[in-house]
Chains A and B, each alone.
Chain A
Amino acid sequence: MTVIRDVVCPFCGCLCDDLEVTVEGNKIVKTRNTCAISSAKYMHHEENRITAPSVDGREVPLDEAVEAAAEILASARRPLVYGLSSTECGAIAKAVELAELVGGVVDNTASVCHGPTILALQAVGESKCTLGEVKNRADLVIFWGCNPTEAHLRHLIRYSGMPKGLYTPEGRKGRYIVAVDVRETRMKRLADQFLKIEPNGDFELLSALRAAVREVKVQAETVAGVPREQIEALAERMKRVKMGVIFFGLGLTQSDGRHMNIDAAVGLVADLNHHTKFVLTPMRGHYNVAGANTVTAWQTGYPYAVDFSRGYPRYNPGEYTAVDLLARGEADAALIVASDPAAHFPADAARHLARIPVVTLDQKVNMTTMLSKVVIPVATAGVEAEGTAYRMDGVPIRLRKVVEPSDGVLPDAEVLQMIIDRVRALKEGA
């Protein structure tokens, strides 16, 4: 029995790196320091696994599945490569290379979550920090349109709520926590102040706060259901603190206004920097969605929605994003890595996915594997394979391998390299 310490959790963007995993034989028997989700990921990583590569539902040797995948991608006119946020960076790099090779489109799950955050960044920038800055300095923490108590379970404990840091010796007591949401979540009990706002009222409330920070009188009695006095008081508090931070989630990025909401938040934070230190940080979901953006950006210049059909990268969210490409019926083949778009995409997009040949690399059976022509099982990064992942704040951490994958099951990056080699051979043969 071995206890492996400092294990990095490959589930959410918190990328906690203090896990302890106990292994007996090649089996995980116990975990420590995990949240409920993380524990489930480790303890049940063997369940519901894809047992063998398959083509058209027929089990085949790996080479044959790779050959079939290569043929589909090499002969497609507009192949889509999608997913990538729940695998390690080496695989992401290979996926980008493959998309370039076949002149396809590569997109990652950011396009359906924090894509608007990136659009806002491209318009106005952002002021951000790593999570340790929050732990060590922040005395005002605002959660806007996100609920870490259910989505990022250890965020409050490790980074943003409770921990005692360098200049926050009192921990939770020294921090004022504000939660802004359209419904009363568990954050209400935890926060010092809860602002229940009207759905789709984020832009207005952020703008009113910004006005108050700039000492412009807000005329309306209430904005998005929040009384003027409360807005002014919060603005005053924001200016007075030593360091403030806004964490925001899909409540901000996927409600009306989308990237305009983030624009407003960035503007508010920029203004606050004339008074004190203020930053904002998106609560990234998948453990390596930040890595998917990072790798794609250094290889192509663009973080997602990249089209290689002209031989060089072009970027246009809304056109080269997976949902749009599928819903328009444009993609004629797809490679899905570490994602389940069939279960999560809008019906039009999912329906088209079912009509075209799909190659899927995944560990487990899901809706996408069920409609795929080629399915190749892979090792789970962070459990059965190493690699880099980028935390929600951009800190790169090396994932650890705690158990060996089953015989013949390879990591994503190796399978993608095999497909690249076959595609290259096919293209050069032709």
Chain B
Amino acid sequence: MRSLIVKGGYVYDPLNGVDGERMDILISGGKVVEELDEREAKVVDASGMVVMPGGVDLHSHIAGSKINIGRVLRPEDHRKDPVPRTRLTRSGVGYSCPSTFVAGYRYAQLGYTSVMEAAMPPLGARHVHEELNDTPILDRTAFTLFGNNYFTLKYVKAGDMGMLKAFIAWLLRATRGYAVKIVNPGGVENWKWGRNVGGLDDLVYNFEVSPRQIITSLARANEELGLPHTIHLHCNNLGVPGNYETTIDTMEAVRDIKPREGRRATVHIVHCQFNALDGDNWMNVRSGAAKIARYVNAHSHVTLDIGQAIFTDTTTMTGDGPWQFRLHNLTGNKWVNSDVEMEAGAGVVPYTFRKNNPANAIQWAIGLELALLIYDPWRVYMTTDHPNGGPFTFYPKVISWLMSRKARTETMLEIHKACMRRTTLAGIYREYDFGEIATVTRAATAKALGLKDKGHLGPGADGDVSVYDIDPTDWRPSMYRQVEKAFSRAAYTIKGGEIVVKDGEVVAAPPGTTIWADVKIPEDAEEELMRDLEADFRSYYTISLANYPVQDEYLPVQERVAVDGRRGW
């Protein structure tokens, strides 16, 4: 592959302290380099444009059984957005449940080159990886679900941190997962009896452990093993007015856990918008974002992503079965529930965020409040929790709201006035600059994930670059429509040194790499774990232990992140 020079753009590379300086980015052998033979290189003219590292989405649902249930469930969604084939690209459908190929192309068109699949049920891990293999261009990881797993509950109940850590290491390897995902800890297990948990100190049936114990045990194990990312936590009580208290309780519960070396955070709270509601019910619901922001500003052990709501018809899908049933009853919309033996559950319900709905107007404001009231952009990330808050294709719109108070005001004038009275958004004047956008969409997310070669453009970084056709020296927040347009269609997206998007069109669709965490643990701990697993697998699973781990055939292009979990065993 020819080397590349991205020439003359205004570079935003926050991890290396570069904030809009005109400089060239040199890429050779798929990596950013300090020098190369300019005569041999292809030149990408980025003069007058914004240059950033390729986007890194740390929370999205693009592959596996949930999104595929969504696809099967919603032919009416696809009809809005058919995508024809070209000589180079496969056909498919878009909108809220895009087909795998289309998801890959469209992320690349937005300048994203890495996306994390945020919820992988272990038993369905092969399914996730099969879909990821049909998702072109993007590098990716998948987060394995742990919070309601039988073995997690069993070892937490026994207070056996050694076995819990050994289990985490084993299951990440068996599923080729990257991080510990927790969804409504305890609640999903109780949902298998048709119940839920109502807070951190409720108990899980038959195990008599609380969500608090599950979260703190997993967080401690996560940090002791030294995993690259913190626990990735979907809190209890999602979507319940008043839940901001549970969210703050949860953050407080993991405050004293010692983070791994080189990191201050011990928890990542996902799609926080859905967990930042104040009030007692849907009639008097109001924003709890300011309270959460106050907590986060005062405590450095928390990161979160916003899960911005978009006014559109979308498809909600979470591993939180009881919440999806609740949403089905709230809306009367069609409902799929899917419980996974011994491990997890999921639900899917179509949902429309409406401008004239007061609760939806408040939810829209909460996402932006979180992003604007939390001062440190290294700890609050831009997502829509695709497709739960809305499809990822609306990211440019979210960027325009973050960068322009005028854009926000215009939306506020169109929507239910509850957003004026029951949120603080109207009083917020902060506007993101390009550097902060680069932070919350790639630099900070890559850092939080522990993906060392992503999210920056220093020597040795992956040659993933996005170029947006907008001149930052000649831009004012009132021109937010320009920024939306520029971020909707990258002038160039470069993936591993190859131009994959030019002028917003896909020009190459190479396969992406699946990155997973390979955690080493002491041999005797592993042997003890296997003895325990074998007995329980035979008794309670419907698939044999030998057929359970994901085979290497499912990861044709893979990268292991080696983690030595033996330190401090």
Contacts and interface: CB of A to CB of B under 8 A. Distances in A.
Partners in one complex: yes
Given A132-B540, A397-B547, A312 B83 contact: yes
Interface string A300-313: 11110000101111
Contact of B65 (A5, A312, A386, A394): A394
A160 B67 CA distance: 28
B334 A124 contact: yes
Interface in B54-103: 63, 65, 68, 71-75, 78, 82-85, 90-93, 97-101
A367 interface: no
Interface string A73-103: 0000000000000000100010001001000
Contacts, number: 188
B411 interface: no
Interface stretch (A34-42, A193-201, A271-279): A271-279
Interface residues of B, number: 58
A204 interface: no
From B72, B92, B98, B544, name the one whose CB has the most chain A CB atoms within 10 angstroms. Answer: B72
Contacts of B90: 97, 100, 299
Nearest to A301: B93
Interface stretch (B43-51, B335-343, B370-378): B335-343
A165 B539 contact: yes
From A18, A125, A313, name the one whose CB has the most chain B CB atoms within 10 angstroms. Answer: A125
A165 B206 CA distance: 14
Given A97-B90, A129-B340, A311 B85 contact: yes
Contacts of A390: 127
B72 A277 contact: no
Given A299-B92, A301-B71, A6 B547 contact: yes
A123 interface: yes
From A133, A136, A300, name the one whose CB has the most chain B CB atoms within 10 angstroms. Answer: A300
A121 B553 CA distance: 32
A237 B544 CA distance: 33
Contacts of B206: 167
Given A132-B540, A277-B193, A398 B335 contact: no
A314 interface: yes
Interface in A116-142: 118, 121-133, 135-137
B217 to A, nearest CB: 21
B471 interface: no
B124 interface: yes
A312 B84 contact: yes
B551 interface: yes
A97 B100 CA distance: 13
Interface in B91-144: 91-93, 97-101, 123-124, 126-127, 130-131, 134
Contacts of A100: 85, 90-91
B492 interface: no
B542 A303 contact: no
Given A159-B542, A386-B553, A270 B547 contact: no
Contact of A125 (B85, B335, B540, B543): B335
Nearest to A275: B194
B416 interface: no
A397 B68 contact: no
A359 B355 CA distance: 54
Given A132-B540, A137-B192, A312-B85, A300 B130 contact: no
Contacts of B193: 137, 242-243, 276-277
Given A93-B134, A97-B90, A132 B341 contact: yes
A270 B328 CA distance: 10
A203 to B, nearest CB: 19
B92 A312 contact: yes
A243 B130 contact: no
A18 B340 contact: no
A2 B340 CA distance: 34
25 contacts: A93-B134, A121-B72, A122-B334, A123-B334, A125-B328, A125-B348, A126-B337, A129-B337, A131-B341, A132-B541, A133-B341, A159-B542, A243-B192, A270-B328, A270-B335, A279-B339, A298-B99, A299-B92, A302-B71, A303-B72, A310-B84, A311-B91, A312-B83, A394-B65, A398-B547
Given A97-B90, A294-B68, A298-B71, 9 more contacts: A89-B130, A100-B85, A125-B348, A159-B542, A293-B72, A302-B78, A312-B91, A390-B127, A397-B547
Interface of A: 5-6, 8, 17-18, 89, 93, 97, 100, 118, 121-133, 135-137, 158-159, 164-167, 242-243, 270, 273, 275-279, 293-295, 297-303, 308, 310-315, 386, 388, 390, 394-398
Interface of B: 63, 65, 68, 71-75, 78, 82-85, 90-93, 97-101, 123-124, 126-127, 130-131, 134, 150, 191-194, 206, 325, 328, 334-342, 348-349, 539-544, 546-547, 551, 553
